Amino acid sequence: MRVAPVRAGSSPARVQESVLVEYGSEEYAIFLSTLPLEFADRVRISGNGGGRSAEATVIALQYHEGRKAVAVRFVEGRCEWMRQS
């Protein structure tokens, strides 16, 4: 998946990274990230090949040995395509 922060006034060529979703459901996702994310930040998650995407809110962060696990909840409720990805 690709993850990009959603920030007001950001340009289309904003910072993004490719991540491996460690846990994904229709409502939540957990992944490791190096992006400068904080609690309550918004992100856009999409498949590596483009196509469908969904906006999510960071609900938890865990830092451990220089790595950061990020948990998000999808903004519009259920994200049906997440289970298929």
Give me the tens of pLDDT residue by residue for the chain, a chain 85 residues long.
899 999 876 555 578 899 998 998 889 999 999 999 999 999 999 877 666 888 999 999 999 888 899 999 999 877 766 665 5
> CATH number of the domain that 29 lies in?
2.40.10
> How many domains does one find in the chain?
1
Residue-range definition of the domain harbouring residue 76:
2-84
Contact (Cβ atoms closer than 8 angstroms) between residue 40 and residue 23: no
pLDDT value, residue 9? 64
Phi, psi of 81 (to 5 degrees): -70, -20
- What predicted TM-score, i.e. pTM, was given to this entire model? 0.83
pLDDT at 69: 97
- The predicted pLDDT at position 39 comes to 96
